[in-house]
């Protein structure tokens, strides 16, 4: 879902305030207006528009450091076909695999922004592992995701690591008001994962045959890159 822009701006601001209060060095800066993605983005992902919610987020002048939970960072606009390589684990998604943009990277988990269709604006997550078929929605929207992270800081389960100078996620299971799948922790408790996959429309038959379909997806990625010349 696509957030109301006023809501999204407010939620992201609240997250920055909470992260700063926890210890993250994140000076306040004037908000930037939504820019435009590079023309290549439309070609890479096969879409004819990119939501303002995404272009606004990408336009914000954040410090060049890991500002997100579990040492995560916001990825820049893609500059080539390697952005498609990152989608090689998106098995069984209820939308076209190509129509999602890698947005947040957390070392062992990748979050993407769905660019088109009835799932536009949703945030999906993939464990970066060759044997993990864990395509699943992390949050229904950007605002919902940042709100969960803020609540995690407020609840004391997203804490600042003084040594590394970034936020770490502790155990969020069972904490009232927190959705464990919104937090970049892997592996995920399997019962919760499978239930959420079914709930958000993941094709479980494809997931169960993950390796076979992963090979097909990798071939489709190579074909897309060849056709684009990237």
Token readout for 78 is 């893609």
DSSP letter (8 states) at residue 1: -
What b/e readout covers 120-140, taking b as 16+ CB neighbours within 10 angstroms? bbbbbbbbeeeebbbbbbbbb
CATH number at residue 192: 3.40.1580
* Nearest in space to 141 (alpha carbons), one of 120, 158, 172, 126: 120
Tell me what pLDDT residue 13 has. 97
- Averages of pLDDT over each 10 residues, the chain, 230 residues: 97 98 93 88 95 97 95 94 90 96 96 98 92 91 98 98 96 95 94 96 90 88 88
Sign, CA torsion 86/91/96/101: negative
Q: What range defines the domain where residue 134 resides?
A: 5-228
Tell me what pLDDT residue 213 has. 86
As for how many domains the chain has, the answer is: 1
Distance (Å, whole) CA 99 – CA 77: 14
Residue keyed to tokens 């390589």: 85
Token readout for 98 is 């190509």
Tell me what pLDDT residue 132 has. 79
SS3 assignment, position 124: strand
Q: What is the number of helices (H) and of strands (E) in the chain?
A: 8, 7
Distance (Å, whole) CA 75 – CA 161: 22
């Amino acid at each position: 879902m696509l957030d109301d822009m006023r809501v999204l701006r407010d939620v992201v601001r609240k997250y920055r305030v909470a992260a700063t209060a926890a210890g993250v060095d994140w000076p306040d800066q004037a908000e930037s207006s939504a820019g435009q993605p590079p023309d290549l983005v439309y070609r890479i992902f096969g879409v004819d528009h990119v939501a303002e919610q995404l272009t606004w987020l990408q336009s914000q002048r954040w410090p060049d450091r890991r500002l997100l939970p579990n040492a995560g960072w916001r990825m820049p606009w893609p500059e080539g076909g390697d952005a498609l390589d990152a989608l090689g684990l998106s098995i069984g998604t209820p939308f076209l695999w190509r129509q999602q943009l890698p947005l947040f990277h957390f070392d062992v988990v990748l979050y993407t922004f769905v660019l088109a269709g009835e799932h536009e604006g949703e945030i999906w997550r993939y464990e970066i592992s060759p044997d993990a078929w864990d395509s699943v929605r992390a949050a229904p929207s950007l605002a919902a995701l940042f709100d969960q992270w803020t609540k995690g800081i407020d609840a004391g389960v997203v804490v600042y690591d003084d040594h590394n100078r970034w936020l770490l996620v502790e155990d969020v299971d069972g904490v009232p008001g927190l959705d464990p799948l919104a937090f970049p922790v892997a592996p995920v408790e399997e019962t919760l994962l499978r239930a959420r996959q079914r709930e958000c429309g993941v094709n479980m038959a494809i997931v169960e045959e993950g390796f076979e379909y992963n090979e097909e997806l990798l071939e489709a990625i190579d074909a897309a890159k060849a056709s684009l010349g990237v």
